[in-house]
Structure 1
Amino acid sequence: MSTAATGSSIVVPDGFVLHTENTAHLLLPASNDAFLNPVQEFNRDMSIACITAWSEQLNENKEAKWTEKMRKKREKEKEKFNANKKRKGPSSRRLDGSADPLQPETTDAEYQETPQAKYHPYKFTVLEALSATGLRAIRYAKEIPLLRYVVANDLSSSAVEVMRRNVRINGLSSPDDASSETTTVSETKPGTVRVTHGDACASMYSHRPENLRFDCIDLDPYGTAAPFIDGAVQAVSDGGLLCVTCTDLSILATNNYPEKCFANYGGIPVKAEFCHEAALRLVLHSLTTAAARYGRFIHPLVSLSIDFYVRLFVQVRTAPIKVKEAFSKTGTVYVCSFCQNFHTQHLGKMVEKVNAKGNTNVLYRQQVGPPCGEKCEECGSPYHVAGPMWMDAIHDRSFVDRVLAHIDASGDKYGTVTRMKGMLSVVKEELDTPFYFTPSRMASSFNCISPPLNSVASALLNAGHRISRSHAAAGSLKTSASRKQVHDVFRSWVTSHPVVMKNVPEDSPKRVLLAKEAQVEADFKHHPDSLKATENVKLVRYQQNPEPNWGPGTKAASGKKRKIAEIDQMMDEADNTG
């Protein structure tokens, strides 16, 4: 048995290893009994920052409502006092002017306000439905100020055992769950982490009543979050936060398993370079359709494509009238199989109509379509259909500003702070329009030398279009220009950087692209807005692989597999001795 010094000494039993991340200390079995991926420290850091910012906003809203309620209460008390004073004034004296001994005499004293009650900050609750080692729950309990408690749940009995041990050594367990087996760290918050053993869906379904709902639900499964979404949208409180991770990008961000993607998320993925943004929109579509069934709607705060997974922070509210807008924010995408030209088709639209009385009514109507033919008008290749998916904004800029302000005020609290600032800075500037492109990929469609990113950005800005970067891919651009207008920029580029046509096959769609004339000649002169001020700040916008063979990690061994392995080992030993 060894001892490691981490603030206070923690006894490390034989067969265990000590893992420390920020403020949390974990004792993990040397055998892989509980799932932990150190690479996802960025995920946990970003989650703490976003939940903290959301909880502060939630508390401010509740305080504003409480203050308004108190103001109305004081006004009502003052009005009642003045009414009583006016009513009692003439009757406090007799007709001859002498005081009436049976009635107290009123004075002209001003209204004295009762001592004002003090507002107590709102403490919120969290459910981490798939907690594994408990690392995330422990960090939430230690690092989020307004947290009341977090329920850390897991189906695996071995994971629950690991969680209970880790909660104890961090001083976060309930008093009746205290143990002298390990030494706890200082500055504890007993009872802040409540460990439960059970099915995640069953736990969420049991918390559907309004008085039992969680303010925040975190879904961070190994693979898809699809099986847990229906329960989550019902068990989160009105105005609550859903934090959702999906690591199955082989399904979400490729076209290898469209049937599986449809089964999980209710939509078909795209086969294009902007597949990672489409993956975010597919998950949002799954969330909005699940919420709509129960008269609820979603408001995306931050939607991130990170490394090998997507992470979304979505606010859920109850308002049946807003649910009607969901189909107008949903649509399909027609994507060219060669040049990746695309057209979006919203499923519905909202039409405002003024009646005879001058009142404005909102009507919900089907959309007219399709927006294009069977063949791409740019290169002649066939279109493929993707979706339906979320077609509205995927970020809330005001919320991103709040998260960035929190990170700036936190100093070096987070281990991945430079990357957090970098990614959120790109997200803050990102256009709401779908989708992005990379000049290098588009240049390959024209078989030409790739123009510099700044040259393409300047050409689009000089033509009056808006541009931004995309957090989902390095070297990418989003623009308000149509794909045809972007192609014209490359046609203008080709005039000064000719293509060797003998290298282009006769039947290639590239020849169709090159044969068209640019309707507007692009101006590649440097535009001052092509490089934003944030480009000069040393931030990590696009992460390089932090370690060899990184990825979603290896799923924790189940009890059944472990028993089979033990039996196999015993049989091998018996054979060897025999």
Structure 2
Amino acid sequence: MSDAGSPSITVPEGFTLHTENTSHILISSKGEAFLNPVQEFNRDLSVACIRVWSEELNREKETKWKQTQERRAKREADADAKAGQQKDQKKPKMESGEQSNDPEDNSPGDDPATGNTLSEVNKREYRPHKFVLLEALSATGLRSIRYAKEIPLVRFVIANDLSASATAAMKRNVELNGLGPSPDPTESALSSSMISEHQPHDRGKVRINEGDACALMYNHRTEKTRVDVVDLDPYGTAAPFIDGAVQCINDGGLLCVTCTDLSVLATTNYPEKCFSNYGGIPVKAEYCHESALRLVLHTLSTSASRYGRYIEPQLSLSIDFYVRLFVRIHSAPIEVKKAASKTAMYYICQGCQSFYEQPLGRMIDKVHERSGNVNLLFKTQAGPSVGQKCTECGSAQHIAGPMWSGPLHNNNFLSKVLEHLESNQGKYGTAVRMRGMLTVAKEELHVPFYFTPSRIAGFFHSICPPLDDVASALLNAGYRVSRSHALAGSLKTNATRQDVHDVFRSWVKKHPVRMDKISETSLARQLLAKEARTEAIFSRHPQSVTQASKIKLVRYQQNPAPNWGPGTKADSGTKRKREEEDE
């Protein structure tokens, strides 16, 4: 998106100017750093989410600050009152109408010069919390520049890259946007502990560091040097950077993660690679993109747990060719103990794609008889939840996970992001799509995995019922229904897959299939051999999915555009430097 009010910029020969919102960067024809224009949606979404998170964190800190001030004022008032009582007891009584010249005889807590109470004199104003953001893999620096220019509460951004050519490009782009070194020596001194002093360009709103991303994050894992936000947007998997990231974030901080290796996360082509990167086995089913999110969340959860920390997912999206997650990091031993009960293995039917959840742990609430206090007990989970064959169609199953089984999103956070977007649509080039995807995510049920009526109709060899008919049948049966952001035409429900299949068995009774066209050993024969336990009611339910579609929104990814996909990784710069020296 171009900024209509952007200043005229002289573009040197061999460069092209790329403008996105308020930021401008020069891209070299030599390909010194990687930039994918399609990722503008990712960057817009990140700016909005980090901005909303920073405002919420600031509100939390302001509330705590006010509570502290109130407690302090109360203590001072109590101390002043006690001191006044003691002084009155020691002071000799004066005759009627006699006045004291002792300045201490003024009312306790009063300032004789102004008449204000001391609590009013000493009252300080709250200063907004400014946060530090670390982008571990910055490439051209566009993302860091946008963060510095578009998020008001940013104190400064540390933009890091291992490539010498990338850091050279970043320096050029940072200066182009007026975010270079600060002339204020006080502000420069504040950052001396944040990034290494030997770097020549380590001051300003965007402070550039050339080095290994993991080493940089490990250098910030002590409490005094931690940052508030870490953004991981690598080429491929973010797995090698997660351990350092979860350690270097302040309590309540935000971790933003992108993974573009969906050929590993969302297929079973490379299960050994998925296990080595994410500690789990992927899913082979139409809901594989949601399982990809849950595999990454599992990695974040287990990585944080090692250090007495836990994750709170704010937003987890499967977008185009990658996943993007926004997760808050907190420290609390009791919450770490709950991680096992939010983790599960899944048995995935290779025929009808039914899934069976096997939690790894469970929590028991034990109420003390006398005090009434509730204690949590953590136990192992009984298993397995299913045999070797699928109970629906008798097909073999493959095991997937472990993966995160808790919520993918925080609805309160999503509401605030949508509110922010509503009043700032002109600031985001992809605002229409952002609004659509965030709306679907907010409506999404906090249950694992979705299905599409068209796929299940294919299993039954029947014509496909309308989306609203399937949703209404489930709602009429007392279940909840929503869409999933990960796939167009999908539904999520708290009904079991057997309940969903019963809806289709009822549908087949009204729309019979040609059994003579179905093989005796086919999947459809196995599914149709069972009778529906209850007759589905297809009459339109007032809360069917059409209610969520009254407002026309771009809810799902659009057809591939130019620059689609993760692109080609940029050269490191070291090889090019040697070639230039040889010339």
**1:26-76 Cα distance to aligned partner (Å, 9 max, x none):** 111012111000000000000000000000000000000111111111111
Q: Does structure 1 conserve the Cα–Cα contact (< 8 Å) formed by 2:217 and 2:248?
A: yes
Q: Does structure 1 conserve the Cα–Cα contact (< 8 Å) formed by 2:317 and 2:323?
A: yes
Q: Does structure 2 conserve the Cα–Cα contact (< 8 Å) formed by 1:85 and 1:106?
A: no
Aligned residues: 554
Shift of 1:559: 3.4
Structure 1 vs Structure 2 CA RMSD: 2.3
Distance 1:50 1:321, change over 3 A: same
Alpha-carbon separation, structure 2, partners of 1:167 and 1:548: 27
Aligned AA (1:22): N
Q: Is residue 424 of structure 2 the alignment partner of residue 414 of structure 1?
A: no
Shift of 1:246: 0.2
Q: Does structure 2 conserve the Cα–Cα contact (< 8 Å) formed by 1:89 and 1:106?
A: no
Alpha-carbon separation, structure 1, partners of 2:169 and 2:303: 33
Q: Does structure 2 conserve the Cα–Cα contact (< 8 Å) formed by 1:92 and 1:104?
A: no
Structure 1 equivalent of residue 284 of structure 2: 271
Distance 1:356 1:459, change over 3 A: closer
Which of 337, 346, 354 is the aligned partner of 2:359? 346
- Give matches, 1:485-564, under 5 Å: 485-548=499-562, 550-559=564-573, 562=576
Q: Is residue 59 of structure 2 the alignment partner of residue 53 of structure 1?
A: no
**1:327-364 Cα distance to aligned partner (Å, 9 max, x none):** 11101001110101111111001112234543432111
Aligned AA (1:403): V
Alpha-carbon separation, structure 2, partners of 1:107 and 1:8: 62
Which of 300, 304, 324 is the aligned partner of 1:287? 300
Aligned AA (1:214): V
Distance 1:267 1:44, change over 3 A: same
Structure 1 equivalent of residue 188 of structure 2: none
Alpha-carbon separation, structure 2, partners of 1:117 and 1:539: 46
Alpha-carbon separation, structure 2, partners of 1:511 and 1:194: 64
**1:496-543 Cα distance to aligned partner (Å, 9 max, x none):** 111112222221122010111111111111111113544121211012
Alpha-carbon separation, structure 2, partners of 1:48 and 1:420: 12
Aligned AA (1:205): Y
Structure 2 equivalent of residue 469 of structure 1: 483
Which of 132, 138, 154 is the aligned partner of 2:161? 154
**1:475-494 Cα distance to aligned partner (Å, 9 max, x none):** 00000110000000000111
Q: Secondary structure at the match of 2:258?
A: strand
Q: Does structure 2 conserve the Cα–Cα contact (< 8 Å) formed by 1:255 and 1:270?
A: yes
TM-score by length of 2: 0.91
- Give matches, 1:234-253, under 5 Å: 234-253=247-266
- Give matches, 1:126-145, under 5 Å: 126-145=133-152
Q: Does structure 2 conserve the Cα–Cα contact (< 8 Å) formed by 1:301 and 1:313?
A: yes
Q: Does structure 2 conserve the Cα–Cα contact (< 8 Å) formed by 1:92 and 1:105?
A: no
Segment drifting more, 477-486 vs 549-558: 549-558
Stretches of structure 2 that go unaligned for 5 or more consecutive residues are: 111-116, 185-202
- Give matches, 1:289-438, under 5 Å: 289-355=302-368, 357-358=370-371, 359-438=373-452
- Give matches, 1:429-448, under 5 Å: 429-448=443-462
Stretches of structure 1 that go unaligned for 5 or more consecutive residues are: 178-189, 571-578
Alpha-carbon separation, structure 2, partners of 1:13 and 1:109: 70
Aligned AA (1:81): D
Distance 1:499 1:533, change over 3 A: closer
Shift of 1:95: 9.0
Shift of 1:7: 2.5
Alpha-carbon separation, structure 1, partners of 2:557 and 2:367: 52
Alpha-carbon separation, structure 1, partners of 2:163 and 2:104: 75
Q: Secondary structure at the match of 2:204?
A: coil
Distance 1:567 1:300, change over 3 A: same
Identity percentage over the alignment?
A: 59
Alpha-carbon separation, structure 2, partners of 1:532 and 1:453: 9
- Give matches, 1:62-211, under 5 Å: 62-94=61-93, 106=105, 112=117, 113-115=119-121, 116-175=123-182, 191-211=204-224
Distance 1:282 1:528, change over 3 A: same
Aligned AA (1:364): F
Q: Secondary structure at the match of 1:375?
A: coil
Shift of 1:175: 4.4
Q: Secondary structure at the match of 2:120?
A: coil
Shift of 1:554: 1.3
Q: Does structure 1 conserve the Cα–Cα contact (< 8 Å) formed by 2:482 and 2:545?
A: no
Structure 2 equivalent of residue 479 of structure 1: 493
Structure 1 equivalent of residue 113 of structure 2: none
**1:429-477 Cα distance to aligned partner (Å, 9 max, x none):** 1000111000001111111111110110111111111000000000000
Q: Does structure 1 conserve the Cα–Cα contact (< 8 Å) formed by 2:437 and 2:554?
A: yes
Distance 1:567 1:495, change over 3 A: farther
Q: Secondary structure at the match of 2:129?
A: coil
Shift of 1:100: 11
Aligned AA (1:209): T
Q: Secondary structure at the match of 2:403?
A: strand
Q: Is residue 219 of structure 2 the alignment partner of residue 219 of structure 1?
A: no
Q: Does structure 2 conserve the Cα–Cα contact (< 8 Å) formed by 1:422 and 1:541?
A: yes
Distance 1:561 1:529, change over 3 A: same
Alpha-carbon separation, structure 1, partners of 2:515 and 2:58: 64
Q: Does structure 2 conserve the Cα–Cα contact (< 8 Å) formed by 1:259 and 1:268?
A: yes
Alpha-carbon separation, structure 2, partners of 1:173 and 1:464: 60
**1:357-398 Cα distance to aligned partner (Å, 9 max, x none):** 434321110000111111111100012110000001110000
Q: Secondary structure at the match of 2:426?
A: coil
Distance 1:303 1:94, change over 3 A: same
Q: Does structure 2 conserve the Cα–Cα contact (< 8 Å) formed by 1:137 and 1:150?
A: yes
Distance 1:382 1:564, change over 3 A: farther
Shift of 1:546: 4.8
- Give matches, 1:561-576, under 5 Å: 562=576
Q: Does structure 1 conserve the Cα–Cα contact (< 8 Å) formed by 2:344 and 2:405?
A: yes
Shift of 1:320: 1.5
Q: Does structure 2 conserve the Cα–Cα contact (< 8 Å) formed by 1:378 and 1:484?
A: yes
